[in-house]
Amino acid sequence: MAKHKVHYEFPMHCLSEILYEYLATAEGLSEWFADDVVEKGDDFYFSWGGGPAEKATLIRYKPEGFVRFRWEEDEGTKNFFEMTIVIDDITEDLALNITDFCEQGDEEENAMYWENLIENLRIKLGAA
């Protein structure tokens, strides 16, 4: 079954430069996204609970703007997950926008997954 695109927006109360480090580096991602992250070039290996590492490739990025990864299982598809820093031109409020792909019927579970991850990120940033 084909996955479909979902979007989430999370207000963040931090500096974009600091947030980007948590999105684009193995050290930053291991603070909130996975238990362990190893970076080898454009390939990132994520592991949880001592289990086997799952590979995602950094396929696009813009410094202090966004990162886009594709899981190894999604190679050959248009599926990816992207984390984008958005700053409102008028209010200068900062948000983290997430684009992901999930199976039909898994939208609620996927949303809760990202909400929990972002709450962990906010705690690490001291922005909870």
Condensed to tens digits (0 to 9), the pLDDT of residues 48-80 reads: 998 999 999 999 999 999 999 999 999 999 999
Q: What is the pLDDT of residues 77-107, one digit of tens each?
A: 999 999 999 999 999 899 999 999 999 999 9
Q: Count Cβ atoms below 10 Å from residue 90 Cβ, excluding itself.
A: 5
- CATH of the domain spanning 4-125, picked from 3.30.460.10, 3.30.530.20, 3.40.50.300, 3.20.20.70: 3.30.530.20
| pTM (two decimals) | 0.93
Q: How much is the pLDDT for 128?
A: 66
The Cα 105–Cα 114 span in angstroms is: 16
119 neighbors 128 (Cβ within 8 angstroms)? yes
Sequence-distant (≥ 6) Cβ neighbours of residue 78 within 8 angstroms = none
Q: How confident is the model at residue 2 (pLDDT cuts 50, 70, 90)?
A: confident
